Amino acid sequence: MMYEQRSGAPLPPEGHVLIVGAGLAGYHTARGVRANGHTGPITIFGEENRPAYDRPALSKAYLTGAAAEEDLLLDDPEDPLDVTWVSGVGVVRLSGSADGTEPLGVHTHDGAFHPGDAVVITTGAYAMSLPAASSEEGLGARPYVLRNMEDALALRDTTLEGLDVAVVGGGFLALEAAATCTERGAGSVTVAAGEEHPGARRLGRPVGEAIRAAHEAHGVRFASASRAQAVRSCHRGHEVILADGETITADIVICAIGARPRTEWLLGSEVTLTSDTGAVACDDTGATAVPGVYAAGDCAQWASHSSGLRPVGHWQEAVEEAAVVAAALTGADPVPLQEPYFWSDQFDLRIQGAGRIHLANEVTVAEGSPAEGNLLVHYARDGQNVGILGINRLKDVTRWRKQRRIRRTPASAAVHAAENAPFSA
């Protein structure tokens, strides 16, 4: 979905920036705006009664108790951002129109209207879950999810010792949860990944084989390659029902099957939402169809996402998009989007991927083997290298990323567009 650039002139230094969403993208947008010299007020709205925090540890260190809540906080308590935090107050409606007839701002559930000179939408996404099949009378199927600190806290406070755990999903969040539950002493952990080798469809079979081998070496069991369809509760626990008829019985079910943009509060506004996921449609500065309104992070679909040039949902993506939006708001030099990057820690595996792996049609193991858990994998599209993945290969991945780093210059946006041109949809 493409449309004319709507970002317009940068804000005056005294302009009021409203940021809806107190997560990673929201916090880094505020930090970028301040770093670019903006002196006007910044207000950040968050539904949780917590300061902004980092989420990757929710399925790892926080879940094991190795990290406390204060370890995840994004803001430095000794040098806090100069912003106004409005916590525990949900935003229910966006005000603003393409023709400028409606005042720009947001309405909160307490009935208040908050005017602003720019609005940045960073509301993130909801965790998806399995539908509930018919359960035995008086019981309800409630799988755990790991989208926020409340979710992780509920699971962290549950004693897993000796219990049977079923993890639904084959992505990194699911696999990290499986590893963490194993390390916390679960009696058994079964993963319903929906494929024989988790991650193989996205990253290639050798990577999926290496991940599965590492988990099986620690006692994790993998269900059949059939997808999970539903979960039901019974007096002996829960049952995860797969499409091929297999049933996984467990005391605890953790669901990590993806997320949907948290944008229902924008229905009825003039902001364009994508027809498939309901994400906020943006250009590659984060600008939406409404002047003065931007979006970044998991709730947004930028033009480069729509064209298939970039993946959606990575930690780095939210941070970089926040910097791009901050530059657009303040009139700073354009910030180039770097090659996508992601990582995951599972048992003794440190998995790192960089580049446009999702575009590859050639996957080559350069070094190592799945059995040894030390893979170095190259990804190419029609013979041109587009990505790399390393398992316990920090130096190789770091070197690849440094070689492709784009410097911030006034012309960097055009350079970046030219480099991406061969892969345009």
The CATH number linked to 65 is 3.50.50.60
Rounded-to-integer distance, Cα 187 and Cα 164, Å: 5
pLDDT for 5: 37
More confident residue, 142 or 318: 318
For residues 52-59, give the mean pLDDT.
89
Structural domains of the chain, count:
3
In this structure, the answer to whether residues 138 and 245 fall within a common structural domain is yes
6 occurs within a structural domain: no
Give me the domain span that covers residue 286.
17-126+260-330
pLDDT for 235: 77
- Predicted confidence band at 311 (pLDDT cuts at 50, 70, 90)? confident
**Which distant-in-sequence residues (6+ apart) come within 8 Å of 311 by Cβ?**
305, 317, 340, 356, 357, 358
In this structure, the answer to whether residues 64 and 161 fall within a common structural domain is no
Domain final residue, candidates 228, 257, 286: 257
Rounded-to-integer distance, Cα 329 and Cα 122, Å: 15
Domain final residue, candidates 239, 257, 275: 257
Rounded-to-integer distance, Cα 99 and Cα 278, Å: 23
Domain final residue, candidates 284, 301, 330: 330
In this structure, the answer to whether residues 304 and 349 fall within a common structural domain is no
Q: Which two tokens stand for residue 421?
A: 């041109």
In this structure, the answer to whether residues 201 and 108 fall within a common structural domain is no
Number of residues that make up the chain: 425
Q: What is the pLDDT of residues 146-171, one digit of tens each?
A: 888 888 998 999 999 999 999 999 99
* CATH at 382: 3.30.390.30
In this structure, the answer to whether residues 22 and 103 fall within a common structural domain is yes
In this structure, the answer to whether residues 253 and 264 fall within a common structural domain is no
pLDDT for 98: 87
Q: Please check the confidence at residue 425 and state whether its pLDDT lies above 90.
A: no
pLDDT above 90 covers a percentage of the chain that reads: 74
In this structure, the answer to whether residues 80 and 53 fall within a common structural domain is yes
Q: What is the pLDDT of residues 11-24, one digit of tens each?
A: 999 999 999 999 99
Choose among 119, 118, 120, 123: nearest CA to 90: 123
Over 255-294, what HEC string results? ECCCEEECCHHHCCCCCCECCCCCCEECCCCCECCCCCEE
Answer for the pair 231, 253: CB distance below 8 angstroms, yes or no. yes
To which residue do tokens 């947004």 refer?
300
Q: Please check the confidence at residue 182 and state whether its pLDDT lies above 50.
A: yes
Q: Please check the confidence at residue 255 and state whether its pLDDT lies above 90.
A: yes
9 occurs within a structural domain: no
Choose among 313, 300, 314: nearest CA to 119: 300
- Predicted confidence band at 308 (pLDDT cuts at 50, 70, 90)? confident
Q: Strand 384-391 and strand 349-355: pairing?
A: antiparallel
In this structure, the answer to whether residues 47 and 117 fall within a common structural domain is yes
pTM: 0.90
Mean per-residue pLDDT of the chain: 90
In this structure, the answer to whether residues 306 and 158 fall within a common structural domain is no
